[in-house]
Amino acid sequence: MLTVPEAARVAGRDPETVRRWIRTGKLRASKVGTQHVIEEADLATALEEHAAVAIPERLRRFESGRPQPDWSAILRRSRGQH
């Protein structure tokens, strides 16, 4: 079982993002006292589903035809450097 801050560290996300996933039903969690706790398997499932979102072909290139960079990877790297 993981707390929200622990799940955020594992996922490489901000704790508020994990809380938003819980509120919107994207991530299952139980409440123990005032804290949400998350099963590691549920977090892994949510991360797999999040990673599975495909980028539409028309958005993979600039109008000039030049390929778009992997914006998600760039953001993940920049957030990991904090």
Tokens coding 34: 């005032």
Please tell me the predicted confidence (pLDDT) of residue 82.
45
Total structural domains within the chain? 1
* Residues paired with 25 in a beta bridge: none
> What mean pLDDT, rounded, does the chain reach?
88
At residue 15, does pLDDT exceed 60? Answer: yes
Provide the residue range defining the domain that includes 57.
2-80
Percent of the chain with pLDDT over 70: 93
| pTM summary value | 0.62
Decide if 8 contacts 14 (C-beta within 8 A): yes
* Cα separation values, 62 from 55, 67, 70, 71, 75, Å: 13, 6, 12, 13, 19
Q: Strands across the sheet with 30-32, in order?
A: 2-3, 35-38, 30-32
Q: Any idea what the CATH number is for the domain that residue 49 is in? A: 1.10.1660
* Residues paired with 31 in a beta bridge: 36
